[in-house]
């Protein structure tokens, strides 16, 4: 059974919002992470309905730092643009998502992640779910036009997001069939529905293309390793036993981490090093 090496783990810049991209990259290289899972929000990436940064510039910056860019996460947490708003008349979310895809293509990644949010709670749940399915199927094919593979990540903090659990993910995949996007699992949220990594691997098979390996304090945050209740050793054993070959992203996000984010990355790197040498 092959052990997962440190270089297979990636990290995300989301909790470095108050630091430069250079600062983030230097710390990732120093700590031995092999890949960057780029979060597409400011200050590191500017994309809106009207313009975008050059993805190729970021690609060079990451490779010059000796790192690989493994995936791109579309920023919709501010709800200025979201999946649920794409069909609105002003066309801004449509334009935003297209610019995100163009940026990701320039970045040279294959995988683009999104969360299925922006579905207002005073609409009926049936109506919201039906709209989401149509939106995800359309976006899967739209992303493919840019040479990208779209993947949906489970998130629990935003109730306008309709993919929160393994059951939600499986229902989406079953409903859309070949039109279903891929799936990304965020381990920090498994507790909310009593789920296990084995269940996600069994339930989604090859549809599961990335695992965001994050810890939890049962508070809705995505915690670093060394700051939560999950056992990374158990999760890594499972991944190795199952010969998991997809991406691994240790990107955490808790507001209080943003003051000194590298401390939390050090904690995660230390755990990986302790467990896998």
Partner 1 sequence: MDMKLRHDQIAGMNLIYKWHSFEYFLDAMQELGFESISIWGGPPHFDCDWKGWQDTSYIRKGAEHRNLKITGFLATSTNYRYQVGVTEPEHRERAFQYFANGIRAAAECGSPSVGINTGWGYRDMDREEAFKRCADMLYRLCDVCRENGVYLALESLKSLETTVGVTLSDIKRMADEINHPSLRIMPDTGAVSYNGERLEEWFQVFGEKIIALHFVDGMHQAWGDGGSPLADMMQTLEQHGFKGPLMLETSAGKYMTDPKEADRKAMAVLSRFVK
Point out which residues bind partner 1 (CB under 8 A): 18-20, 23, 41-43, 46, 48-50, 75, 77-82, 85, 90, 92, 118, 120-122, 157-160, 220, 255-256, 258-259
Closest CB 9 distance from partner 1, rounded Å? 24
Closest CB 22 distance from partner 1, rounded Å? 8
Closest CB 103 distance from partner 1, rounded Å? 15
**Cβ closest to partner 1, residue 53 vs residue 179:** 53
Q: Can you list the positions of beta strands (E) in 179-238? A: 182-186, 208-212
**Cβ closest to partner 1, residue 60 vs residue 231:** 60
**Cβ closest to partner 1, residue 191 vs residue 244:** 191
Beta-strand relationship, 68-73 and 9-12: unpaired
Residue 126, Cβ density class (10 Å: 0-12 exposed, 13-18 middle, ≥19 buried): exposed
Closest CB 102 distance from partner 1, rounded Å? 18
Q: What residue has token string 């990107």? A: 251
**Cβ closest to partner 1, residue 18 vs residue 274:** 18
Closest CB 13 distance from partner 1, rounded Å? 13
Reading the block at residue 147, the tokens are 């040479």
**Cβ closest to partner 1, residue 58 vs residue 201:** 58
């Amino acid at each position: 059974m092959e052990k997962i090496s440190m270089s297979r783990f990636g990290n995300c810049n989301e909790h470095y919002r108050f630091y430069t991209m250079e600062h983030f990259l230097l710390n990732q290289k120093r700590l031995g992470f092999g890949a960057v899972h780029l979060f597409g929000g400011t200050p590191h990436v500017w994309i809106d309905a009207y313009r975008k940064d050059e993805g190729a510039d970021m690609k060079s910056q990451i490779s010059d730092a000796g790192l690989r860019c493994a995936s791109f996460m579309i920023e919709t947490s501010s709800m200025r643009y979201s999946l649920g708003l794409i069909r609105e008349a002003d066309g801004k979310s449509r334009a935003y998502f297209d610019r995100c895809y163009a940026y990701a293509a320039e970045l040279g990644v294959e995988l683009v992640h999104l969360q299925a949010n922006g579905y207002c709670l005073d609409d009926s749940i049936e109506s919201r779910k039906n709209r989401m399915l149509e939106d995800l199927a359309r976006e899967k094919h739209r992303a493919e036009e840019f040479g990208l593979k779209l993947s949906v990540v489970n998130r629990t903090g935003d109730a306008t997001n309709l993919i929160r659990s393994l059951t939600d993910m499986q229902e989406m995949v079953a409903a859309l069939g070949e039109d279903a996007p891929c799936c990304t699992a965020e381990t920090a949220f498994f507790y909310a529905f009593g789920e296990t990594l084995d269940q996600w691997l069994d339930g989604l098979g090859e549809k599961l293309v990335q695992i965001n390996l994050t810890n939890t304090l049962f508070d809705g945050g995505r915690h670093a390793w060394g700051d939560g209740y999950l056992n990374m050793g158990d999760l890594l054993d499972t991944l190795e036993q199952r010969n998991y070959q997809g991406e691994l992203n240790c990107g955490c996000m808790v507001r209080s981490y943003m003051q000194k984010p590298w401390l939390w990355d050090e904690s995660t790197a230390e755990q990986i090093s302790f467990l896998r040498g």
